[in-house]
Structures are given as structure tokens and as C-alpha cells.
Chains A and B, each alone.
Chain A
């Protein structure tokens, strides 16, 4: 959805909802209208973290409950007004988000989800133990308005609507700047995001702080509406589940998902409960559960995406974007390789248990040169790259960039220092467009979003992908994906590029194209270290070879030297072959 239109859609929705709410007289339905908004808002809070980063949290009740108890206790003990307490709750939510995130983000996937489960449940028992089994908000008969105690229930709906609009705008803002792009890239591929210069840990902390703040503010308001807070009603499993269910039902990773999910599920559940609850206790849960099961089988990514896919499928796919000739055919003259050493590796080693994956490797890379790293499978080439850009810490040895040690730095910090990297197994952000994929790599050098877009545009043009820049990555050919990864690495304006089997899986003609791009880069004085298997292509590209075998440096030298080297031939083709051709 384009910028303006999505904003108008939001405002239109809020106005229509306000109008509808204003017309409802029945206090029960008024409460329901408020609750729809409360859960939608809570879902949006959850979505900021889990929807965008893909780290599923089962524990958002922790924030919700803390918020609810903030208002309940603040008003009961100190007589403060919710107008003050809700913002305080939001701040507390943000802080507890950081407190939870700091240790918990060390975990991934299932472990993260399960660890999050434990927080609200532990809090639940703690609050029970503290004796807060049931805290009611005192009625303030003297000055009800100052304490958000309205005689007209519609007032609550309007406040909730205001909060929802706030949450929606916040979500939209996140989605549209580098915050959202960083989170999405984490979801799609954390390693690639990190290598592209995204400080994933910091972004995740920001996300959970914001997410916790929204959830706590909603919880605080919820307490004001219901007037009674019990540990189970705010810290319980079902509260956490509510956030998950409404958002996943409606659609993950969009402003509208939680709103749609809540608008459908909450009224259904409430009405069933009030109509049939007395005759068939539990019917509400059964129908609710069945609805959830059905939707997940029919539209596993939520209603919003299902409908959107339906609507966009009708449109013809954009014209087959064959790029006529963006690839520079004439390769400019390369400047001579300078003497300046840009990267120096000293005695680098890595042991995995007893296995020496990289064993005492040393080499130097000079400014402007292309170094090819070759070796049989399992020789430790990719491990060496992972050591260079900080994915794994070396067991021994050092890596110097411009004479300064970069040992122990995180991948995004290495990227900041000017080292770009691509992966052997391609790690594109499959659901993002080419332009978005590449812009993720540009943030590390860009002060503003506009500048990042410009850098990304330049990088895309340089590898010759301008024609397909708006395509979703999943529609690209593998050559285009390789070039896109290259562009992502280039967008961060690196001086040194680490390319891991960039030509793997490409045909002869495609390889030539990629090769031409690489030569062009070298001509612009980029320094390149490339891992590759295809000797005949490498011989035409690189200035110098480094041959690894069983983690050790087997040989180093110019192309001619290397292809005549008996031990290299032996490592590659086996003893028999080298004996026969000796």
C-alpha cells in the first residue's frame, strides 16, 4: 500500500469506528467495542517484536500484567490518576522489555519462545505470593473524570481508539524506516543481516522495549476499564495467547493484522459466551479454537496476507525484466595493485573439538588485489571467512585490518570498518524486493533513509540489476540472486569484499557476466577475496591464490605457479592423477 493511502485508510477506519461506537447505547456492546481495541492494540505491541523479527514471544502477558498492576496499585495505594499511570506503565514496560531482552536475546528460535513463556508465569506466582490476588481500583466519586471513571462507557472506547491509532502510527513508522527494515532482515536471515552491518542485538532490544511499552500501556488501560485486576487475568497464559492469536489470525507483520483479527475474534468469543455460556460452558473456547484451527489451515499467514495475495494475483506480473545490457562489457583498465597491506591474517586457527578446521593460516591482502582462496571441500575456506568477519571467534591468531586487530568484533562492526561479505549458501531476504534487500546493506554507511536508498540504487546499478530492482527476491534467477547479494555487500561501501563461492551453481554464460562485474569492481580499486572452485574461471580473475587443505595453507602464489604446483593438483585430483600426469 502506498504511503498516503495507508494513512488515509487508518484515519478512515478510526473515524468509522468512532462513529459506530458513538451510536451504540447498550453498555455491554460498548464494553465489547472497547475490548476489541484493547486486544488489537496489544496484538500490535506483540507484532512490533514478534511480527517483524520473527522471534515468537509467548510472554507478552508479562508486560501487560505489569502495566495493569501499575495502574491498579498506583491508584489504590497512592491515589494517582491513570492519566499519569498509563505513561508510567509504558515506561516500566519499556524498561522491563530491556531487562528481559538483555539475557533472552542470546537465545534463538524455540528457546527464545519458551524462555519468554516463563516470565509472565513466574510473575503470576510472585504477585499471588505478594498478596495481590485481587486488586480493585477505588471508585473516585468526587472527581471521576480525573480518574478516567466515566459514566458514559463510550468515553473508554474513544480513549482506546486513540491508543490504537497511536499504536498503528507507531507500527507504520517502524515499518517505513530503517528500524523496520532491520527487524525484517533479522527475521529473514539474521546472519546475513549481521554481515550486512546491522547491529541485530541492538535493534532487537529497541524492538522489545517499544513492544513492551505498548503492551504495558494497554494493560494499564485494561485495568482502568475492568476496575479489577487478578494475576490470572493479566499474567495468565491466555493473555499471552490472545496477542498471538489475534495477530496471527489477522496477519503477522502488518499494521492491519491485529486489528482485523481482534475485530473478528473478540466479538465472536464474547457473543458466544453470553448467548451459550450458561447452557454449554466452554462453547466459546471450542468455537474460538476451531476458528483458529480452520484459519491456520486455510490461510496460514493470516487473513490480511491471504486477501492481499488474492487481490494482487489478478494483476499481470510486471514485464519479464530481462536486463538488456547493464553489465559493462568493456572492462576498464585496472590500476596496479599497491603495496599497502589492507588485511593481514596471522596464525589464524579454529578448533571444533578435536577437529582443526583452520590451522595456523597466515596471509596478506594488498589494496586493490584479487585473492582467490581455493581448496577441496572441507578445507576450511568458509570457516576462514567466518573467522575474518566475526561470525566465530578464532581459537588462536589474529586478523588485522589496516594494521588494527579486529579479533573479537561482531560481524556488524567488521562491516562498519569496511568489510563486505556474501555467502556460499545464498542468504537473500526472500520476501523483500531487490531494492529493500540491498538497502539493508547500505544503512551502515548512511545517515538518513534517503541516503541509504541512494547508495542502494547505485549498488544495484553497478551489478546491473536496475531493471529488476522492484521484484521480490524469490522471483529472481540464481545469477540475479548472486548479483543482488553482491550489491547488498557493495551498498555498505566496503573497501574489502569477501565473496564466498559467488559463481557456484551458475552456467558458463552466467559466470562470465558475474565475472565481468567482479572485474569492474576490481578496476574501481576494490579489494576482493574470493572463494571458488572453478579453476579455469579463477585463473582469469585473480592476482594471487591461496590454497587451503585440511585447514592449512598448502601453497600461495600467482596463477601460473599454482596450476603447476604438484601438491595442489594432488589435493584436488588425488595422487593417481598427479602421478599419471607428472
Chain B
């Protein structure tokens, strides 16, 4: 159960990354750090702006998380406009290896700046977004003797995640902007010829991806304490989830993240805790080898 709850937050994270990867084909190493920023943004929004006084100890943190989302959207938008767009999208033609080298090293650089900048500004002490629900649980009886404890804040986080995913998939599939993103993802060149501003589509996708991951980060922060280096841990979880779900498939990424959460929790039953993370990688490698296109991905290669 705990696996499912954590998994759905992981799923949301992965969706953020998948949106960026799926539309732009850019491997974004800074995604974990964007999430870390989302955590801190929620933390400070809740703390500094006096939201707790306004919305009470229960509502404050959640309003903080909601505020972090547009903040990170803006941040992602700017990062793309100023940096990423210069080595991606229609600019890649002139670069070696379709710009992959440049994109990798650029996002690595951004990740370094964010992690260490956060350390300078926020300090390396653990922080946590505490709500009264963090330690509360619902008890759900299953039969006579057995009952399941559900941590309240985790359950809320999971519910919010699922709701967000539904909203996102509605947005992608039903709206004009979503269609635009899908067109740019499918074939950037053709989209350009059809008069779509691909760079703008990429910018929106990037910002949205950052915002979604930040939301997941905020939700995660209500359960797990965090620090400036947390990004690195999760970026790997995210990639595992995205690859598992099939690169480029947005809903697939959700299921991928969910699976990773489950695997992580289940592996504690059979493996020593130190090997818990190794289990993720082993599953990750197995999936890559057995089904590189993932659960929902398509492989597209032409000679």
C-alpha cells in the first residue's frame, strides 16, 4: 500500500520529466534539482508568507505547494528561454550528435549550479514540510483481524497526484495547446512547416514539465524531509520510471513511476535496506534490455 502511495507521487514526477523528454527529446539532468527547488519553494511559501496563519496549519503547506507550481513554471520557462533553447529544438542541426552532447552537459551544469546554489542559500540542514497529517493515519479494516494503516498526508498526496495526471492527460489530449505539443513531439520539422512555433511549444512543455515535477516534489516534501542534494536521488528514480513507461509516453511514465515506487517498497521485504536502491537499477536494466520501448512506447527507427 505504501508502495502504491509513494508510487503515484513518483508517477507524477516521471510525467513531468516525460513531458520534457517526449516533446523535446532532451535528457534533462537538472529535473531532480527543479524538484528540489519546488520543495523549497513550497516550504518557504508556506513558512514566510504566513500562509499557516491564514489557512491554518493544515491548509498552509498545501497552499504553499500550490503557489510553488506557478513559480517553478516561470522558472522553467526562463531557464528554457535563456539556456536550453540555445542547444535544442531547431538549433540542433548545427551541433554534433544532434546537440545531445551540448544538452547533456548544459543540464548537468544547471544541476550543479542549482544543487550547490541551494546549499549556499538554504544550508545543508534537512528541511521538512510538516502538516498535522504527516503523522496521522487512517485505519481501514480489512476483515476481522487485519487492518491497513494509511498515512493521511501520503494518501492525500497520492490522490492529488492521480487527479493532476488526469488533468494533464485531458490537457494534452483535448486542448489546442496540447495538440500543439503533441505535434511538435511527433515531428518537429513537419510541425514547423505547418506554422507551429516549435520553440514556443518546447518552452511550454519544459516549463510545464518543471512545474509538474515541482508539484510532485512539494507533495513528497509533506512526507519525507529534504535537503539540497535530494535532486540526485530522485532524478534516477525519474529516469527509471520514464524508461520503464516508454520514453515519450506521458501516461506510460506515470505507470512506470508507480512501478518503481512499488518495487522500491516491495524489495524491502526480501532485500536488506542497502540493496533497496540496487533493486531499482536491476529492474531498470532488465526492462531496458527486455523491452526498450517500455510499456507504452513505440520504437521508431528507419534505415
Contacts and interface: CB of A to CB of B under 8 A. Distances in A.
Contacts of A283: 116, 120
Contact of B101 (A286, A289, A290, A301): A301
Interface stretch (A291-299, A342-350, A482-490, A510-518): A291-299
Interface in B269-303: 272, 274-278, 281-282, 284-285, 288-289, 292, 301, 303
Interface string B191-234: 00000000000000000000000000000000000001000100
B109 A118 contact: no
Contact of B109 (A113, A125, A293, A423): A293
A289 B288 contact: no
Looking at A107, A117, A241, A300, the one whose CB has the most chain B CB atoms below 10 A away is: A300
A282 B120 contact: yes
A248 B303 contact: no
B57 interface: no
Interface stretch (B62-70, B91-99, B126-134): B91-99
A297 B102 CA distance: 8
B136 interface: no
Looking at B104, B109, B111, B119, the one whose CB has the most chain A CB atoms below 10 A away is: B109
Nearest to B119: A282
B54 interface: no
A244 B239 contact: no
Contacts of B284: 115, 118
A281 interface: yes
Given A54-B97, A252-B96, A293-B110, A125 B275 contact: yes
Contacts of A249: 105
A117 B105 contact: no
Interface string A253-293: 00000000000000000000000000011111110111111
Contacts, number: 151
Interface in A373-411: 382, 386, 391-392
A111 B288 CA distance: 7
Interface in A333-387: 382, 386
Contact of A289 (B104, B111, B285, B303): B111
B288 A293 contact: no
B156 interface: no
B267 to A, nearest CB: 11
A110 B278 CA distance: 21
A297 B83 contact: yes
A114 interface: yes
Interface size class of B (residues with CB under 8 A): 35 or more
A237 interface: yes
A115 B289 CA distance: 9
Contacts of A293: 83, 106, 109-110, 113
B120 A300 contact: no
A191 B288 contact: no
B277 A244 contact: no
B292 A107 contact: yes
Contact of B116 (A119, A191, A284, A382): A284
Nearest to A194: B303
A121 B284 CA distance: 12
By secondary structure, the B interface counts as helix
A191 B301 CA distance: 11
B274 A286 contact: no
A570 interface: no
B118 to A, nearest CB: 8
B97 to A, nearest CB: 5
Contact of B112 (A285, A296, A386): A285
A301 B102 CA distance: 7
A481 B275 CA distance: 54
B247 A110 contact: yes
B32 to A, nearest CB: 10
B278 A56 contact: no
Given A244-B108, A282-B115, A289-B110, A121 B101 contact: no
A245 interface: yes
Nearest to B271: A129
A331 interface: no
Nearest to A121: B281
Contact of A113 (B27, B87, B115, B119): B27
A106 interface: yes
B232 A237 contact: yes
Given A125-B274, A125-B277, A300 B102 contact: yes
Interface string A442-466: 0000000000000000000000000
Looking at A117, A245, A423, the one whose CB has the most chain B CB atoms below 10 A away is: A117
B87 A296 contact: yes
A245 B303 contact: no
Interface string A90-116: 000000000000010011111101110
Contact of B96 (A121, A129, A289, A301): A301
B288 A290 contact: no
Contacts of B13: none
B278 A122 contact: yes
Given A114-B239, A121-B277, A107 B111 contact: no
Given A281-B119, A296-B109, A301-B102, 17 more contacts: A110-B21, A110-B25, A111-B243, A111-B247, A111-B288, A114-B239, A118-B236, A121-B236, A187-B97, A244-B105, A244-B108, A249-B105, A280-B120, A282-B116, A289-B113, A293-B83, A300-B95
Closest A-B pairs by Cβ, 6 of them: A285-B116, A289-B112, A292-B109, A282-B116, A289-B113, A282-B119
Interface of B: 21, 25, 27, 83, 86-87, 95-97, 99-102, 104-106, 108-120, 124, 228, 232, 236, 239-240, 243, 247, 272, 274-278, 281-282, 284-285, 288-289, 292, 301, 303
